[in-house]
Structure 1
Amino acid sequence: MKLFERFSSDMGLHVMEVPASARAALRTDHVVGSGPDALRVLQLQGGIGFAGAERVIRETVNTSYPETRIALDLTRVHSIDDVARRMLLEIARRLTLDGHDVYLVDPESIMPDPDPGDGGRVTVVDSLDEAGGPARSG
């Protein structure tokens, strides 16, 4: 019983605290640029908890990205809980181990301690431009 109470507490899965139906955590999955300079952008949005991070994992884990560089864009994320943070960092770790350069676009420092550990690495930047995306026209 204690184990299930701990899971419920740690993962925000209490039966009476069902989050309101919201837009998907993964807003867009697109590529900017082309050729060796192409950057795959996974733009996240909203408040991300366990369920949202799980959806992002489901979208990315079985996908083989041809681009060398991948950005997890948190510009539209307003909050992230600890379990979701760990899950997203695991995505970054796996992408790194698969040979990708991973960027975390986090201008508001939403993701505390962005270290994926165990051979993973992520470069934290304030904008897609810093990740090497094409210049935006104003």
Structure 2
Amino acid sequence: MAGFKKLKPGSQADVKPPSAEVIVDFSTRPETFDPAPAEETEKRGVGRPRGAPRKAFATRLREEAIEDIQAVNLGLRLKQQGEAVERAIRFYKAHLIARTREELRLAPEVDDAAVLMKAFKLDD
């Protein structure tokens, strides 16, 4: 099993910092880092050149298209609400017919419209 060696004074690991003459002040030197060397751009022959704007197709919607989408969304929402109201009315009508048949002891052969008429006459 490997372990850490204890260093003795005067060994190579006991290094002194360099003198002030050798130290380079990086704050006074201009920055020379170039992220895109000129040789690399010359080699690149296929595609658009670096820095040229990309053409984006169909990424931005026009205002008319946005308004159309919102109108369709609203229409679908209203349609769903209307369908929900229609289902609730059908459910209530079926419930009212069943309750009226039970209270008046009507035969199943009696028409639903007649049962509804009798139910509303009872409410008056």
TM class, shorter-chain normalised? under 0.3
Q: Structure 2 length as normaliser, TM-score?
A: 0.19
Q: Which has the higher contact order (CA 8 A, sep 6+)?
A: 1
Bigger proportion of residues as helix: 2
Bigger proportion of residues as strand: 1
Q: Which of the two has higher C-alpha Rg? A: 2
Q: Structure 1 length as normaliser, TM-score?
A: 0.17
